[in-house]
Structure 1
Amino acid sequence: MRVALAGFNHETNTFHPRPTTLADFRGPQGTWQVGQEIIAASAGTRSVLGGMIEVGKDEVWDLVPIFFALHPPTTGILTDEAVDVIRENIVGPIARDRFDGILLHLHGAATAANRPDPEAVILREVRGAVGPTVPIVVVFDLHANIGLEWAEHADAIVGYKTAPHTDFYERGIEGARILGRALRGEIRPVVVVEKPPVMIKSGLMSMTTAPLALIKPPMFWLMQRGIELEREDKIINVSIAAGFGDADSATTGMTILVNTDGDRELGRRHARDLARLAWQLRRGIQTELVLTPVDTAISRAVHAAEWPVILADQGNNTAGGSPGDGTAILGGLKAHDWPDAALFIADPESVDRAWEAGIGGEVDLLVGGKNEPTNGDPVAIRARVRLITDLEVDFVTGDMKARLGRSAVVRCGQTDVILTQYPSSQTSPAYFRAAGIEPRERRIIVVQSAHLFRAEFEVREHIPRMIIEVDSPGITSPNTTRFTYHRVPRPIFPLDDFEWVGPEGELVQAGRQGN
């Protein structure tokens, strides 16, 4: 069997001030792989593509790698040029060849200037190229705004089940195995999609069961119910896209996807039941149940009896699109006389000043607050330079590197500020260790991450004694009252207070709100 492998990943924050261009994908923080470059980079890794490649070997497919583009930092609206070039690199080679099956890894949260759902366009054109009988299987990210059109062109659509994401490889394996079963004629996959009118921002969808985790009932219980349904005959996969509320688009919001073996009516029934459950659990995503104001969070951390304490800087979540220079927590630490703490700020201008001063030099800086008005004003600091370096982070898994560019560690009182050329999410203790800081030895560790940090800091290394999710301002704040939406489908919770007439015309009543 001849199977094409391709992908396109970008999570678009439409509130981000800078558009995402073709150069971003080809730049130092992007991935641009053609043909065998995909195999060389992903074979043997615990990634989606790594899982797909492994199944391809097991199935003895003639697996043809086409193209893969990735820009991991979430940035602003994609330019039409970027989408057009990426689309042609995927669709063109597929249209010029013959394939028995198609495997696609699409993120699900891309938004372009004149194409609100560019991934649906790619799916539509791939389907047009291969015809109606060639099976197409898609694997997508949990933070996805899946449009109804996806189901018109794909045979099966499989999403991550974890946040933080720890099942890339498993979902790649699952998607490829579904394709294998379809190619052997064992199943005839069909997918049904429902969209309950619920929007979740990325800081409110953790599902980890780790001891310090604040379980967000809606996504946790929805996903558990979906997993239960997968035990039924004819149910191939149940996926729930939590959505990406940092994108103001026509497809924004939660999506329920039920993949069955040829039983569309069964899929529709379960998808509608899950949509109703999502509505009944919706009030569990209200920010006041989860987030702590900045000053309160810092005060609690400073006076905590046990440490380290992790402050999760929700409004400055670089994985969700923040430029990484939010100053709310930095300013709060200054107001608390620079306690024992460590945090990152992306500020190339301050990096240059620190490099000029040299190790041991004292420098006056205006740090952060230079990219986006909601990220706060620059904070004036006087600091001593402890380290200057080109910062590169090797992750524990060995599958990835993060290049933060020219960087400097400067100290104010007992607070270390790690200044970097490029933004970073600090999803792993490896970020701090690369800068010469051991997180276990610090009272306060600030991460510019909504929840992805939990997998390494909490689950793998058991570092924090307390985690506080901070209601900081910025373009990734989970607090929807900070934003004005123009394109999302209305009414939608939590932007609107309304009663929902469900998928079958019934009034869906609120149920138990979880615990």
Structure 2
Amino acid sequence: MEQTKTNRPKVIGVVGVVHETNTFAPGLTGLDAFKNDWIVGTAAFVDRYTGTKTSMGGVIDAARDLGLELRPGFYTQATPSGMVTDDAFNAIADGIADSADHDVDGLVVILHGAMVASSYPDAEGEILRRLRAKFGRSLPMAVTLDLHGNISPEMVDLSDIIVAYDTYPHVDTYDRAVEAVHLLNSQLKGDIKPVQRLVHTRMLVAPQAMLTASGVMKEMMDLAFELEKVQGVLNISVAGGFPYSDVEDAGMTFVVTVDNDPELAERCCEQLRAAAWDRRERFTVQQLEPAEAVAMAVRHPEGPVILIESSDNVGGGSPADATHILPHLLTAPKKSLIVIRDPEAARLAAKHGIGAVLRCAIGGKSDDLHGEPVEIEGRIRTLFDGNYRHIGAYMTGQYARMGLTAVIECGNVTVVLTEERVAPWDPGHVKFVGLQPEQFHMIVVKAAIAWRTAFGDVAKLVIEVDTPGCCTANMHRFRYEAVKRPIYPLDSIE
């Protein structure tokens, strides 16, 4: 006998796109940037993400455990980069809406929260608007977001449940997706009636200040966790925001989701807002100039010393070819490692072959903000196609691609040249080219916090380096045009 609609298993869909857009980064992001993760339909989605500790893997496992039928539509993602073109955005947004199965009981939408397209500053809000145009307002809809999302009122209005990552580095993407599916299932069963409230802190916070394991950001997370214990509170999402997207809603926000009690949500929002504002000065990041930073690292008796070049943070959309620190490494008496994207130099190394000597200028080719090309001379130790899976705690099992990769030994400096931009989220980007972090006294990381999932367990000292770049911790280096003012630290606010 056929199951009726009332007693058949609940059906949920899953669609999404993840892109963190740096509007200060050079260049535009077209559709080609998303080609490596262009997943359409159930078979492709399940094959790609089953067994991975990703948001997608979390949706698959939670649906299975809850007895839900899962119908994936279209999902794609790209490495953070510059403004997304309208053509690319419309193709993705329409693809998401068109692919979502119309005959579902609920929908999970995997988003970042800081995607920006040329004509769509609130890209995720527009995606949700197109989904609502198809499904109407009554379909239960849960959204997962990155901790660095710039959450707009429209995103909250058009969703029923928002669940953002609780960790930076983001080691809980899987867990938060599982949580979102469980909350959605509770809504489908009628056990809860989610009500959301959003509050903006009027603060721009640099990602370098958002480490959730200690310090001021941990205090904010701990407060959110305590409030989540209050009867009726379903979820609190602490979104540190992404200050490199110059959009109206950029900055730190909180979304409180409660069970049919808007006054409770508003009280929690105000408590969180006040706590963040009281701590605003503690979100300032202290940094050293490159020469001083390298000298301090050399003096330290034990390595690896991590030199954080966060202004060229690949995970924030930077070009990954900054050279501000490299000249100081070349004259330092201790062994060091740096990864630089330079497709031209990587291909030249491949042409020469392993064992040959490479003489060329590397890096500093994307724009004037990230330094000048630096001449190197070194022996080509390794050539690699750049394809691997994450082996560390961050999105374990996720595919990663560095493109053509060459390891060049230049005296005390080992340079890894990559064809594609690679964020140091996983130790695989070093280990798969035959290197071990413990070999080096100094390691330059083009990241803010997420490098800790690659090198945090071996770091003996951490030094923040102050260099120009499109991901600098100094908000005053940028010319903001769209963000709603006043906002701290750009403006004085009482």
Which residue of structure 2 lines up, in the alignment, with residue 54 of structure 1?
Answer: 61
Paired residues for 1:7-406 under 5 Å: 7-26=16-35, 28=36, 30-71=37-78, 73-94=79-100, 97-209=102-214, 215=215, 217=216, 219-287=217-285, 290-334=286-330, 336-337=331-332, 339-396=334-391, 399-406=397-404
Partner of 1:428: 426
Amino acid at match of 1:116: P
Q: After superposing the two structures, state which structure 1 stretch, 85-94 or 242-251, moved more.
A: 85-94
CA shift, 1:291, in A, is 2.2
Aligned length: 482
Any conservation in 2 of the 1:32–1:70 contact (CA below 8 Å)?
no
Tell me how far apart the structure 1 counterparts of residues 387 and 56 of structure 2 sit (CA, whole Å). Answer: 24
- The secondary structure found in structure 2 opposite 1:410 is strand
Partners of 1:196 and 1:302 in 2: how far apart?
40
Distance across 2 between alignment mates of 1:448 and 1:170: 26
Task: Give the counterpart letter for 1:457 in structure 2.
Answer: F
Aligned mates of 1:48, 1:357 — CA distance in 2: 41
In structure 2, give the amino acid aligned to 1:256.
F
Residues of 1 paired with 2:453 and 2:343: CA distance?
29
Q: Percent identity?
A: 34
Cα distance in 1, alignment partners of residues 483 and 328 from structure 2: 34
The alignment's TM-score, normalised by the length of structure 2, stands at 0.94
Cα displacement (A) at 1:109: 0.5
Shift of 1:413: 1.7
Query: Take 1:104 and 1:357, find their aligned partners in 2: how far apart are those partners?
Result: 46
The aligned counterpart of 1:4 is 13
Between the aligned partners of 2:247 and 2:98, the Cα distance in structure 1 is 27
Write the distance in 2 (CA, Å) between the matches of 1:389 and 1:259.
Answer: 47
Q: Which range moved further: 32-41 or 308-317?
A: 32-41
Could you tell me how far apart the structure 2 residues matched to 1:113 and 1:365 are? 36
User: Letter of the aligned partner of 1:474 in structure 2?
Assistant: G
Q: How big is the shift at 1:338? A: 5.9
* Separation in structure 2 between the aligned mates of residue 258 and residue 78 of structure 1, nearest angstrom: 29
Q: Structure 1 counterpart of 2:306, which letter?
A: I
Match of 2:489 among 484, 487, 494: 494
1:322/1:474 contact within 8 Å kept: yes
Q: Letter of the aligned partner of 2:212 in structure 1?
A: M
Q: Deviations over 1:463-506 (max 9, x none)?
A: 1111112222211111112211111111111111221xxxxxxx
CA distance in structure 2 between the partners assigned to 1:405 and 1:312 by the alignment: 23
Q: What SS class does the counterpart of residue 24 from structure 2 fall into?
A: coil
**Deviation sequence 1:360-384 (CA, Å, 0-9, x none):** 3233211100002110011122222
Aligned to 2:6: none
CA–CA separation in structure 1 for the residues paired with 2:102 and 2:60: 20
* Contact 1:427–1:447, Cα closer than 8 Å, also in 2: no
Code of the residue aligned with 1:282 in structure 2: it is R
Structure 1 contact 339–413 (Cα < 8 Å) conserved: no
Deviation of residue 43 (structure 1)? 2.2
Cross-structure match for 2:4:
none
Residue 2 of structure 1 deviates from its aligned partner by 1.9
Please state whether the residue corresponding to 1:279 is helix, strand or coil. helix
Q: Does the 8 Å contact 1:338/1:412 carry over to 2? A: no
Q: Separation in 2 of the partners of 1:325 and 1:286?
A: 26
Aligned partners of 1:69 and 1:315: how far apart in 2?
Answer: 26
Amino acid at match of 1:491: P
Work out whether residues 395 and 430 of structure 1, in 8 Å CA contact, stay in contact via their aligned partners in 2.
Answer: yes
Rounded Cα–Cα distance in structure 2 between residues aligned with 1:239 and 1:439: 34
Q: Is the 8 A contact 1:102 1:137 kept in 2?
A: yes
Cα distance, 1:169 vs structure 2 = 1.1
Q: Residue 267 of structure 2: SS of its match in structure 1?
A: helix
Residue 509 (structure 1) aligns with: none
Give 5+ residue unaligned stretches, structure 2: 1-9
Q: TM-score, normalised by structure 1?
A: 0.90
Preserved CA contact (<8 Å) 1:14 1:247: yes
Query: Is the 1:99–1:130 Cα contact (8 Å) retained in structure 2?
Result: no
In structure 2, C-alpha distance between the alignment counterparts of 1:401 and 1:3, rounded to whole Å: 25
Change (3 A) 1:21 1:338: farther
Q: Report the alpha carbon displacement of residue 300 of structure 1 after superposing the two structures with TM.
A: 0.9
TM-superposition CA deviations, 1:370-407 (whole Å, max 9, x none): 00211001112222222233233332155123221222
Mean alpha-carbon deviation: is it higher for 324-333 or for 425-434? 425-434
- Structure 1 stretches of 4+ moved >4 Å: none
C-alpha contact (below 8 Å) 2:40/2:72 kept by paired residues: no
Give me the whole-angstrom Cα distance separating, in 2, the residues matched to 1:149 and 1:184: 26
Mapped to 1, the partners of 2:146 and 2:202 lie a distance apart of 19
**AA of the residue aligned to 1:261:** D
Q: Could you say what secondary structure the match of 2:338 adopts?
A: strand
Deviation at 1:62, TM superposition (A): 2.3
Q: 1:31 to 1:302 in 2, by over 3 A?
A: farther
Contact 2:310 2:446 in 1 (8 A): yes
- Structure 1: runs of 5 or more not aligned: 210-214, 500-515
Deviation, 1:203, is 2.1
Matched with 1:212 is none
* Counterpart residue type for residue 347 of structure 1: D
Question: Residues 443-454 of structure 1 correspond to what in structure 2 (within 5 A)?
Answer: 443-454=441-452
Instruction: Render the CA deviation track for 1:128-159: whole Å, top value 9, x for unaligned.
Output: 32223221111110010010111211111111
SS of alignment partner, residue 375 of structure 1 = coil
Instruction: Measure the CA separation in 2 of the matches of 1:480 and 1:84.
Output: 31
Alignment match of 1:419 (pick from 417, 420, 430): 417
Measure the CA separation in 2 of the matches of 1:328 and 1:435. Answer: 24
Equivalent residue letter for 2:224 = G
* Inter-partner Cα distance in structure 2 for 1:36 and 1:296: 53
Among 436, 439, 442, the alignment partner of 1:441 is: 439
Question: Could you tell me whether the CA contact under 8 Å between 1:203 and 1:477 is conserved in 2?
Answer: no
